[in-house]
Amino acid sequence: MADSAAAVAAAAKPVPLLKDELDIVIPTIRNLDFLEMWRPFFEPYHLIIVQDGDPSKIIRVPDGFDYELYNRNDINKILGPKASCISFKDSACRCFGYMVSKKKYIYTIDDDCFVAKDPSGKMINALQQHIKNLLCPSTPFFFNTLYDPYTEGADFVRGYPFSLREGVPTAVSHGLWLNIPDYDAPTQLVKPLERNQRYVDAVLTIPKGTLFPMCGMNLAFDRELIGPAMYFGLMGDGQPIGRYDDMWAGWCVKVICDHLGLGVKTGLPYIWHSKASNPFVNLRKEYKGIFWQEEIIPFFQSAALPKDCTTVQKCYIELSKQVKDKLSKVDPYFDKLADAMITWIEAWDELNTPTGAATKAPNGKAK
């Protein structure tokens, strides 16, 4: 009888959304014990783990998860000379996971992010909310004052043009964090004890022409729509800047989404960010970026892509040319970054063709 009841319960258990269409990408330098908390939500999905730092270190993954693991040796083997575009000793290495994935959707999360609870105390299935965001249209051309009009209990308000109510495909779902806010080093230093306890039950489309600081620790995107633009730049070892990897990608992505008529959402879901990074270490990584961003942001605000840029790759290559032309005057680093952007696209295209797909050789187990 008990076995029968268990069978009925198993049969009634809903199939996870996009189970065979989504990869979870995790950059790490440590054992992934944090996955135990995420097991109810992540276990049905395939994980791509990108190991940063010492490739000889053994990364332990809890039993029961379906995963493949890549370290620096694997990256060098798969990409050859083009591996130079993948950052080392920086979480920006996660974008290698985006490149080798063969799924339509990606969710990426940091290993210090835990399951959050909503105001009622219920555990938040962040992945499920991201999927809902991606599967619903965005409204970048006209702001809806009730936020996401496709959410249950909401709709388009009076005065919203009917011609725009179909929306556009959503390329990016940008989630938020409770507990440790995603602050820059100067803000961390003046507000060392500040914690984010505000749970705002809202999702909204970032309007066309508006940039935002994208955070990579709780992020999902449609790989087929925007994947080639999700390059997290050159950061970490040997580079003059860090902690701008996700924001650089976000600025590039937003310009390209605006050009191609795609949407970016931000808001729900929340995760629990458990650990504050060292603000003094962060300041050493960020200090040049803090000055540079005053010129980077106006560059992206004024960036225009020609009409013949009809694919993400064409848009990204054009953007790289503009980076080289205009930002290399700020610092020679941007000349190097522009070249890396081209290398990234070349590597992406090589790996994402029928012949390139056969060159994958993960280190670790894959089920």
Interacting residues of 132 by C-beta distance below 8 A, sequence separation 6+:
none
Beta strands in 85-126 (DSSP E): 105-109, 113-114
Give 182's pLDDT tier (boundaries 50, 70, 90).
very high
Tell me what pLDDT residue 6 has.
46
CATH topology of domain 22-352: Spore Coat Polysaccharide Biosynthesis Protein SpsA; Chain A (3.90.550)
Average pLDDT, integer, range 92-102 = 98
Whether 92 has a pLDDT exceeding 90, the answer reads yes
What is d(CA 244, CA 214) in angstroms, rounded to the nearest whole number?
9
Burial class (CB in 10 A: 0-12, 13-18, 19+), 235: buried
Tell me what pLDDT residue 365 has.
44
Q: Which H or E run includes 24?
A: strand 22-28
Helices assigned H by DSSP within 56-165: 72-79, 95-100, 126-135
Domain boundaries defined on the chain: 22-352
pLDDT tens digits along 218-235: 999 999 999 999 999 999
Average pLDDT, integer, range 246-270 = 98
Tell me what pLDDT residue 13 has.
60
pTM of the model: 0.93
Average pLDDT, integer, range 118-139 = 98
